[in-house]
Structure 1
């Protein structure tokens, strides 16, 4: 490729760590003060959460001297993209380095994902490797930041979230979101199909203040990329005022993140924009807060009488013995169910939440591979972009 750029760097083996439990990249790097800046930027960009949420990974670390040049004059969003090139979604240890055929292997970097790559196929599920390299990997195409002046409505319109874009514009919530962008914001934008789904309330029956609260409920006052959502325990406070009844509770299954409101739930379907400190997701359903729509009712049990009912009279509405045994109690499947649902349908409504269909793993984006050319004899890693 004419646009390809080759960077050759000398490396030293910093540490190889194999653990049987979740790793913590911040703790691992903190043992070496010369990597403090690299460690700090992983935390600032929330890449540490993404690294910690993965199981098989190799981190190419830079010392403080290299980081000073690497980050000088660059916004945090650009630094994050460049640091993502230094995280390989594979595990390299001395044995594996020596066994690479012809000294060359094609691997994938974290930049290719938004935190929702496919499961680590064929990998040992509990390894992390940290290698120190002497020079950064630079991809010129990643040096441009989206910035806080991003056209949010254009991003939403292009992604099929025109209804949400129109609502935040007409209600004045767009201005609230724009003011929050410099400090950090996470936006969950329902798709146009989500607003047409069965059960979505008629927004025209809400007051202007309630519509504003509903829309603010779809945003967090902090930057939370996918890795952070996957590692979050407990509730997330939204921009909507009103305390706990406007909180979201995330859950994770594999690479799928689901948001629970107390009324309904929705899968995080894709990442529309990730430019630190702004991230915008699309979600499958409109998020309905408890404060406006009340708690989701528990499935109603089959009707029961306070006292035992007498056996039915053979003369009253009794089928002939040939058809059905007399006095036979109704089967559980025939008991009344709310809204005509069978009991098998009532335990939950999120059966599709863990489906990879249209999930974040399918987000279209730049595909960037790094060919890691390893010459063990000379201690050289040559990375071809």
Structure 2
């Protein structure tokens, strides 16, 4: 009796196991990989939560869109030194408002290096770094980076600051927090005074100096002419006198 029931029971258990496995696999299909893409600078800084002024400056100058587009179309990566709100608050009142639109763009670009730099690469970079602002010659937009142990120091020729925190980093973009706004020399450095224009009277004075004076040959020529006239008059007088006498 038991031997007759054993095969059907085994088949029933096997059928139940296969049905359960099939149902479980149908309910949990394999998930596709998440789409990959370059990070968004604005979202990174917004998530950090203490870069409101820098974000506003990037927005009004349209540099946020420019930098995000650059990340999408470049393999060089990017490094950003982001000043916190407290760094901006330490500036003299009215500093940002005194800048022209072009200078505001240059200020944002001065905080961006158009290549990816990890913290270890700061020890071997060549100074001055060329920033997004362009010209790194002395008196323009030089940015010098030095290290002391694990500390990264930055100098612009106007301010000296340090990297105080790594906000975000991967193989494409690195965002570092700095405790001061990076002020470039070309905008905030001592301005070379413009040369004073030459006096207008200089040429007149020179012309007067070159002109012959009253003591030159022209005056002597005038005296000679007067003497000759006197001689002619004398001869005429003598002739008239002789005519009357004779």
TM-score normalised according to structure 1 size? 0.37
SS in 1 for 2:58: helix
SS in 1 for 2:79: strand
Within 5 Å, give how 1:113-128 maps onto structure 2.
none
Q: C-alpha distance in 1, partners of 2:94/2:152?
A: 24
The higher-RCO structure (CA 8 Å, 6+ apart) is 1
Match of 1:185 in 2: 78
Say which of 157, 169, 174 aligns to 2:46: 157
1:258 aligns with 2:148: no
Match of 2:118 in 1: 225
Match of 1:287 in 2: 182
1:196 aligns with 2:86: no
Deviation, structure 1 residue 247: 2.1
Please identify which structure carries the higher helix content.
Answer: 2
Deviation string, structure 1 residues 285-321 (Cα, Å, up to 9, x no partner): 000000101159xxxxxxxxxxxxxxxxxxxxxxxxx
1:211 aligns with 2:104: yes
Say which of 275, 279, 282 aligns to 2:170: 275
Match of 2:63 in 1: 173
Compared with structure 1, are the counterparts of its residues 156 and 229 closer, same or farther at alpha carbon in structure 2 (3 Å cutoff)?
same
Q: C-alpha distance in 1, partners of 2:159/2:118?
A: 22
Q: Mark the runs of 5 or more structure 2 residues left unpaired by the alignment.
A: 1-32, 192-246
TM-score normalised according to structure 2 size? 0.57
Q: C-alpha distance in 1, partners of 2:36/2:169?
A: 9
Deviation, structure 1 residue 222: 0.6
Q: C-alpha distance in 2, partners of 1:198/1:171?
A: 19
Q: Mark the runs of 5 or more structure 1 residues left unpaired by the alignment.
A: 1-142, 297-385
Compared with structure 1, are the counterparts of its residues 157 and 248 closer, same or farther at alpha carbon in structure 2 (3 Å cutoff)?
same
SS in 1 for 2:116: coil
In the alignment, is the contact (CA less than 8 A) between 2:61 and 2:105 conserved in 1? yes
In the alignment, is the contact (CA less than 8 A) between 1:147 and 1:275 conserved in 2? no
